[in-house]
Amino acid sequence: MSSSFRTALMLIGVYFISTWTGVAMVQAQTSPEISLDCQQPNAIDVFPGSTRTSIVYCTLSNPTAFSETVKLTYSGGVLGVAGPGSKSVSGQGSASFEVALRAELRAPEGQQVVTIEAEVITWGGGPVSGVSEPVESKVLAVYKQFSRLRVGSELAFLQLRPKVDYMLQFDVYNDGNARDKFNVEVANFDELNDAGFQLSIPLLTDEIDSLAPPTKFRVQMRTPKNQGWTDKYYNLQFKATSEFSVRTEGIPNYQIQSMTVYIRGIYLPGFEIAGTMMITAFAAVALAGRGNQNQIRHNDDGEKELIPLDSRIF
């Protein structure tokens, strides 16, 4: 076979290959295409003072040889979603865009599906309609839990005598956005204990739902029995701490409710027993006296008879 024939045969082969490749490209590009890829956003803080926002980063890719205009739509339920309404993508190119998410203040801990949809509306400079199906990407927006609490009491000032028992009551509110456990204590327990107070808390911890009615914590207190006259003010500090804040947030979130306790009066050891004995003795003497106080009178037969004091008519 001559070299000239081989060259001619090669040219014919190249021609057919190029023709076939062109046909394949035309066949591959008879309709527009677009792909959409979105990254998962960071969790959203919703506590008071936070931005309550997060960003979704998305990329459009155009596998065809012609430029495209892509329409973008968003769906996020109660979550606020904002992004560009459309984006141009060059042939065999890509384009990036951002979608902003905004949650409501104090949104309950949870998650929300966000759908981002892309649809080609022009291709190669001409409009297209119903030629290609829209594509979508779904991401999950997560609302982060945060801790917040309040502590209240009906009394801020209390006056008592020495050595008396009293039940204090404090209300703990969960103002966070999820169920939380709260631990309670008397913050200055050692100080009050050294002063002669006896304190105990029947319920040391409890779980409270978000924005639920408060849990009532009680502190059993016996005032000091220091000998002699007492006229002194004390400060009792009731403390509640969010367990979630300690476990997750890294900084204990707590609140202290202070109460002033004024102790005024006298305490003498044994005085209560002596007083009780004296009262009992006086009562016994009075009853005995009443029992001996009778009145004598004559009956119809002229005989004398005794009339008990309790039976006399005045």
pLDDT at 309: 44
d(CA 182, CA 170): 13
pLDDT at 151: 98
pLDDT at 209: 98
Global pTM reads: 0.71
In sign, the C-alpha dihedral spanning 153, 159, 162, 164 is negative
Q: According to DSSP H, which parts of the chain are helical?
A: 3-28, 189-194, 243-244, 271-292
Where are the CATH 2.60.40.10 domain residues in the chain? 33-143
d(CA 256, CA 150): 9
pLDDT digits (tens, 9 = 90+) for 174-220: 999 999 999 999 999 999 999 999 999 999 999 999 999 999 999 99
More confident residue, 34 or 304: 34
Q: Please state the rounded mean pLDDT for residues 218-232.
A: 94
d(CA 253, CA 221): 26
d(CA 312, CA 314): 6
d(CA 56, CA 98): 6
pLDDT at 269: 82
pLDDT at 31: 85
pLDDT at 210: 97
Residue 291, SS3 per DSSP: helix
The answer to whether 46 and 177 have CB atoms below 8 angstroms apart is yes
pLDDT at 40: 97
d(CA 185, CA 83): 49
The third-level CATH classification (topology) of the domain covering 149-267 is Immunoglobulin-like (2.60.40)
pLDDT digits (tens, 9 = 90+) for 117-172: 999 999 998 998 766 789 999 999 999 999 999 999 999 999 999 999 999 999 99
- DSSP one-letter code for 162: S
Residue 30: which pLDDT band, with cuts at 50, 70 and 90?
confident
pLDDT at 312 over 90: no
pLDDT at 268: 87
Where are the CATH 2.60.40.2310 domain residues in the chain? 149-267
The answer to whether 306 and 296 have CB atoms below 8 angstroms apart is yes
The answer to whether 81 and 100 have CB atoms below 8 angstroms apart is yes
Q: Please state the rounded mean pLDDT for residues 278-307.
A: 54
pLDDT at 303 over 70: no
Beta strands in the chain (DSSP E): 35-38, 53-61, 68-75, 80-82, 86-89, 94-102, 110-123, 126-127, 135-143, 149-152, 157-160, 165-174, 180-186, 198-200, 205-208, 215-222, 228-242, 254-267, 294-298, 304-308
Residue 26: which pLDDT band, with cuts at 50, 70 and 90?
very low
The third-level CATH classification (topology) of the domain covering 33-143 is Immunoglobulin-like (2.60.40)
Residue 95: which pLDDT band, with cuts at 50, 70 and 90?
very high
Tell me what the pLDDT averaged over the chain comes to.
Answer: 85
Among residues 186, 181, 182, the alpha carbon closest in space to that of 241 is found at 182
d(CA 193, CA 190): 5
Cα dist from 1 to 4, 8, 15, 16, whole Å: 8, 11, 21, 21
Residue 156, φ and ψ in degrees, nearest 5: -115, -15
Residue with token string 């003010």: 233
pLDDT at 5: 53
More confident residue, 280 or 192: 192
